[in-house]
């Protein structure tokens, strides 16, 4: 009776151990795969950020642009800031701008190409912890002159809001995610390009908003996480071996 009861107990615990070990090993392998993908992404972004600016793709090619192939490509073009309401996008700190590590807002403005299309410009960072509308209003007023200006920057694509993303504040024209298409729709900018441009140049005389070059600072802890999962897998196997040995010793005693 005791022997019959013991065997299913050992078998059940062994099965549980194997399932848990397999899960930990799979998580470790997944982290290594993510590490490889992250290194490829860093290499691609570093290459794009270092390349010289190219002409903005014509509107006929916009539909073919994708984040995987075109995000962070440097472009240069001429446009005129449109006399339309701008938007603030809250930032707790940037992962790609060394000079924007404190809370503030990004100034999003619509600019019109000579051919009539709207391209949204992230004109730069505003150190504005209280998200005061007046701070950005004064800065943007100096940019919207009605004259064409040569702009250079980086192609970016809209972000998706997360579960914890705060709701937009339309009274302040304040958003909490860089979704320029949603902003354009809410503020009546009309049809816009599927990307926006993170401005690098020119820099306003007073530095507000503050555009600037981007740099890659993507977090890469995947090897550490992989080692943790593999260590847990080994620990589970060792724990089972110790437990099974104790069971055998107990059953061998008279």
CATH code of the domain covering residue 139: 2.40.50
For the beta carbon of residue 203, count every other beta carbon within 10 angstroms.
14
CA distances from 237 to 12, 14, 29, 31, 243 (A): 14, 9, 18, 20, 10
Phi-psi region of 186 (alpha: psi -120 to 50; beta: other; left: phi over 0): alpha
Q: Within this chain, do residues 13 and 92 fall inside the same structural domain, yes or no?
A: no
Residue 140 inside a domain? The answer is yes
Q: Are residues 141 and 192 in the same domain?
A: yes
pLDDT digits (tens, 9 = 90+) for 131-153: 778 878 888 888 999 999 999 99
Q: Are 117 and 189 spatial neighbours (Cβ–Cβ below 8 Å)?
A: no
What would the mean pLDDT of 244-251 be, rounded to a whole number?
Answer: 74
pLDDT in tens, 20-68: 899 999 999 988 887 887 777 677 777 788 889 999 999 999 999 998 8
- pLDDT at 4 (0 to 100): 46
233 and 192 fall within a common domain: no
Residue 66 lies in a domain: no
Q: Which helix (H) or strand (E) holds 124?
A: strand 118-126
- Judgement on whether residues 161 and 118 belong to the same structural domain of the protein: yes
Instruction: For residue 166, give its domain range.
Output: 73-201
Contacts of 67 (CB under 8 A, 6+ apart): 157
Q: Tell me which residue has tokens 């724990």.
A: 239
In a domain, 126, yes or no: yes
Centroid of chain to Cα 98: 15
Burial of 180 (0-12, 13-18, 19+ CB in 10 A): buried
Give yes or no: residues 6 and 86 share one domain: no
pLDDT in tens, 228-237: 999 999 998 8
- Beta-strand ranges (E) seen in 138-234 are 149-156, 174-175, 192-201
Does residue 151 sit within a domain? yes
| Residues 138 and 92 both lie in one domain | yes
Tell me: do 11 and 105 sit in the same domain. Answer: no
Which residue shows structure tokens 């800031």?
Answer: 81
- Could you read off the pLDDT of 55-114 as tens digits, one per residue? 999 999 999 999 888 988 999 999 999 999 999 999 887 777 777 778 889 999 999 999
Residue 181 lies in a domain: yes
On whether both 192 and 248 belong to a single domain, the answer is: no
Residue 55 domain-assigned (yes or no): no
Cα separation, 140 vs 134, in Å, equals: 10
Q: Are 134 and 225 in the same domain? A: no
CB 207 within 8 A of CB 139: no
Residue 68 lies in a domain: no
- Residue-wise burial string across 13-46, b where 16 or more C-beta atoms lie within 10 A, e elsewhere: eeeebeebbeebbebbeebbebbeeeeeeeeebe
- In a domain? residue 145: yes
Total tally of structural domains belonging to the chain = 2
The verdict on 132 and 237 lying in the same domain is no
If asked whether residues 164 and 138 sit together in one domain, one would say: yes
Do 191 and 224 belong together in one domain? no
DSSP-assigned beta bridge partners for residue 110: 120
């Amino acid at each position: 009776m005791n022997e019959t009861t013991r065997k299913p107990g050992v078998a059940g615990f062994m099965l549980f151990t194997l399932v848990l070990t397999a899960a930990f090993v799979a998580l470790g392998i997944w982290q290594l795969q993510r590490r490889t993908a992250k290194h490829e992404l860093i290499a691609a972004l570093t290459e794009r950020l270092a390349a010289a600016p190219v002409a903005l793709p014509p509107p006929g090619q916009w539909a073919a642009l994708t984040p995987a192939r075109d995000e962070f490509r440097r472009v240069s073009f001429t446009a005129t800031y449109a006399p339309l309401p701008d938007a603030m996008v809250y930032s707790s700190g940037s992962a790609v701008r060394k000079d924007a590590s404190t809370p503030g807002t990004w100034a999003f403005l619509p600019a019109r190409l000579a051919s009539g299309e709207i391209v949204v410009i992230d004109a730069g960072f505003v150190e504005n912890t209280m998200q005061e509308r007046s701070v950005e209003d004064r800065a943007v007023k100096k940019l919207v002159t009605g004259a064409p200006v040569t702009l250079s920057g980086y192609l970016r694509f809209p972000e998706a809001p997360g579960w914890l993303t705060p709701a937009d504040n339309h009274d302040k024209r304040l958003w909490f995610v860089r979704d320029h298409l949603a902003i354009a729709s809410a503020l009546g900018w009309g049809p816009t390009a599927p990307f926006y441009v993170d401005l690098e140049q020119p820099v306003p005389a007073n530095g507000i908003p503050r555009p600037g070059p981007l740099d890659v600072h993507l977090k890469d802890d995947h090897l550490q996480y992989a080692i943790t999962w593999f260590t847990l897998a080994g620990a589970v196997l060792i724990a089972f071996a110790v437990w099974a040995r104790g069971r055998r010793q107990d059953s061998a005693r008279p």
